[in-house]
Amino acid sequence: MRSCKLPSGAEMPVLGLGTWRMGENARRRAEELDALTYGLDLGYPMIDTAEMYGEGVAEEIVGDALRGRDTLPFIVSKVYPHNASRAGTIAACERSLKRLRLERIDLYLLHWRGGTRIEETYEAFDRLRSAGKIADFGVSNFDLDDMQDAARLDKGRTATNQVLYCLSRRGPEFDLLPWMRKRAIPLMAYSPLDQGGLLRKAPLKKLADEVGCTPAQLALAWLFAQPGVVTIPKSANRERVKENFAALQVELTPEILRELDRAFPPPRAKQPLEML
């Protein structure tokens, strides 16, 4: 599995299983657990979750999927902004660890910037790292100005920034992604299929046919082709989980990449960071 190196030197896989919207409906829990378990059996090396997803239930489902495994995947979770005070971050992390049934989270993120001073959150991250509760820390939904604020505090240790980024939402390419690449900070792309909206785009379907893959695989392969980018597609369906994993084998020629740029043009000016 390809990976990106974090500022700490740790390796983060380029592909993981997302869990956003899991844990919201008890009737779907078995299906969601099955999808995660199947994905891990296929070889997915990372799971992304958060205390927000299902108000902690998604983390419990992840904990169920991890039970009894000799080898654990790379685990990412996130703290709510309203819990991101110095004491609140530490307490939230302890709750997440309990739900996940883990002793350490590989990468712990501030879900988005709220009213708490980021200095407090970073102090808590430092304490959690020193205590061995987390290995690395980072942020999510931070635009360039937010990342610049974080850079003044983090001593070069912000591991990643998880943002909305896909073929149909390329805003980060104008200034945020270049800034992160210059500092060797990987970007985590969430909703890489734009919540399914990308799959209805005729140009994507046409080019996928030319490549010999599905539209979802083409959209994911495009992200894999972007230096310093990892992604975390979510699905509760076994076939889609398998389809997404196979995107790692899709090779894109320079001509196909140029065609994708023509169909989904990169930004020509600064765009506010989009969030879902």
DSSP letter at 256?
A: H
Residue in 144, 125, 145 with CA at minimum distance from that of residue 136: 125
Residue in 93, 94, 45 with CA at minimum distance from that of residue 66: 45
Q: Please give the Cα distance from 120 to 113 (Å, whole number).
A: 12
- For the question of residue 53 being annotated catalytic, the response is yes
Distances (CA, A) of 173 to 38, 210, 217, 231: 33, 26, 21, 15
In the set 53, 122, 165, 190, the catalytic residue is 53
Determine contact, residues 79/92, Cβ cutoff 8 Å.
yes
Helix (H, G, I), strand (E, B) or coil at 241: helix
Residue in 256, 168, 193, 223 with CA at minimum distance from that of residue 14: 223
Residues with a catalytic annotation lie at 53
